[in-house]
Structure 1
Amino acid sequence: MFDINYTFHWNQAFRALPDMLAGAWITLQIAVLSMVIGIIVGVVLALAKQSRFVAARGFATTWIEIARNTPALFQVYMIYFGIPAVLQLVASWFDIDFRAMGINIFYLDSYWAVLVGIAFNNAGYLAETFRGGLRAVPDTQTRAARSLGFGPFDAFRLIVLPQMFRAVFHPMTNQMVWAILMTSVGIFVGLNIDLTGVTQELNARTFRTFEFFALAAAIYYVIAKIVTSGARLIAWRLFRY
């Protein structure tokens, strides 16, 4: 009934493994940088969400709502296509010809678009995670620190923040794995140097779709397992007391 005559050629995929591993390094690079940015911005957003200032709360709420309730691909698209369009509109308002100056502000490199898009998404999710972590730290910790002579900033930086990160360690690990996998959306904005981009280019040249994407999936799996295993070792050190 079915005529299946597909022949596997794994040797082509394994010969291209160095190129795929180079792409995996770019994938990991984007994920780590987006997590670093996301953590920094996420802490600021979490504090802003709890601020008594309406403008700060509104800004944080808007960021979080967009990041958590729209597709990640949409966010990357808006950064890749939207930012140049907005800059072009502003330039037309002020009658500025950047191209005459030799400056091309209307093109955003796909690498940076994916990095900023994933960082934007991470910050939104981590902000809510951090807000929960901050609530998990008793107010008595801050009062005790102040009674020992700590200023408000030092009490937060040295007492509250470490306890918050300890409380949200496992959700941060999950977010890191999510960031690694989410880099694959870069293929839709022309990113061809990460693992998915390299795999697609190899597939387009050889038409060995199953072999290359199966190998790419295995590499993603190994990277995710390394991250989760490393996090488990760190957690053993953090939570053994």
Structure 2
Amino acid sequence: MNYTFDFMSVFANWDRLLMGAWLTIQLSALSIVLGFAVGTLCAIAGKSRLALVRGLVLAYVEIIRNTPLLVQVFLVFFGLASIGWKLSAETAAVIALTVNVGAYTTEIMRAGINSIHPGQIEAAECLGMSRFHVYWHVVLLPAVERVYPSLTSQFILLMLASSITSQISAEELTATANLVQSETFRSFEVYAVIAVAYLVLSFLFRGAFWAISQIAFVRKRKLGTNL
């Protein structure tokens, strides 16, 4: 093999790659926040007494979890455009990622909510707590605390999966890398650098989630247990 490695041509485009990484962070962070909200609401709706509501939640979760993310991205970007709802690549990316992670979050939060013993809810109601406070303090917060490691893993997977949105020209890290590769013809060097970049982003996200846990879960921190 007679190949000369040339990483300098890649590092010469560091500003473009940095902008791509920043857009990856933005897309992922926004999708995580919205997806968590969607998943939590759907998990609560899944406990509804109305069979129709439970059926809609189940259908949403099963459809999203059993179809490829790339197809979902194409459906939002190209499908909606074909019926007159043209969205920017970034907006379509956020919608698709939110819908996707929302389905997985629904199942994770459902498991967390189901882990709360009914006796705790009954005790809170006997103390005269409102329905909102019962759900917030007795159900949701403890449920999130219990499934937080699973949530963070799913959210980091979402950040990595955001690379798929390069297929609709969202100018995130992978899309930028593809452009740099097409200009420099240094495939190995470009994608080796991008692999390291995603590894760094994963550690940054994990550190951010750890910091959030230290603020949000005071009880667990006092007990000296780590997430």
Q: Same fold (TM over 0.5)?
A: yes
Q: CA shift at 1:40, angstroms?
A: 0.7
Alignment of 1:205 with 2:183, yes or no, is yes
Q: What residue is the counterpart of 1:38 in the other structure? A: 35
1:91-170 equivalence runs, <5 A: 105=85, 107-170=86-149
How many Å separate the matches in 1 of 2:140 and 2:13? 45
Q: What residue is the counterpart of 1:196 in the other structure? A: 174
How many Å separate the matches in 2 of 1:108 and 1:231? 30
Q: What residue is the counterpart of 1:9 in the other structure? A: 6
How many Å separate the matches in 1 of 2:91 and 2:213? 32
How many Å separate the matches in 1 of 2:123 and 2:30? 35
How many Å separate the matches in 2 of 1:11 and 1:78? 38
Decide which moves more: 113-122 or 5-14: 5-14
Larger radius of gyration: 1
Q: CA shift at 1:197, angstroms?
A: 0.9
Normalised by the size of structure 1, how large is the TM-score? 0.86
Q: CA shift at 1:167, angstroms?
A: 0.8
How many Å separate the matches in 2 of 1:35 and 1:232? 15
How many Å separate the matches in 2 of 1:234 and 1:188? 32
Q: What residue is the counterpart of 1:218 in the other structure? A: 196
CA-atom RMSD in angstroms:
1.6
CA contact (8 A) 2:10 2:184 kept: no
How many Å separate the matches in 2 of 1:131 and 1:141? 17
Query: 1:182 is aligned with what amino acid?
Result: A
Identity within the alignment, %: 31
How many Å separate the matches in 1 of 2:212 and 2:115? 20
Q: CA shift at 1:159, angstroms?
A: 2.3
How many Å separate the matches in 2 of 1:235 and 1:40? 17
SS in 2 for 1:70: coil
Alignment of 1:184 with 2:168, yes or no, is no
Q: CA shift at 1:233, angstroms?
A: 5.2
The runs of 5 or more residues in structure 1 that have no matched partner are 89-104
Alignment of 1:70 with 2:43, yes or no, is no
Normalised by the size of structure 2, how large is the TM-score? 0.91
How many Å separate the matches in 1 of 2:138 and 2:36? 18
How many Å separate the matches in 2 of 1:22 and 1:190? 14
Q: CA shift at 1:141, angstroms?
A: 2.0
Alignment of 1:61 with 2:40, yes or no, is no
Q: Would the alpha carbon gap of residues 133 and 30 (structure 1) be closer, same or farther in structure 2, given more than 3 Å must change?
A: same
SS in 1 for 2:129: coil
Q: Deviations over 1:71-116 (max 9, x none)?
A: 111111111111222x34xxxxxxxxxxxxxxxx3x2211111111
How many Å separate the matches in 1 of 2:182 and 2:35? 34
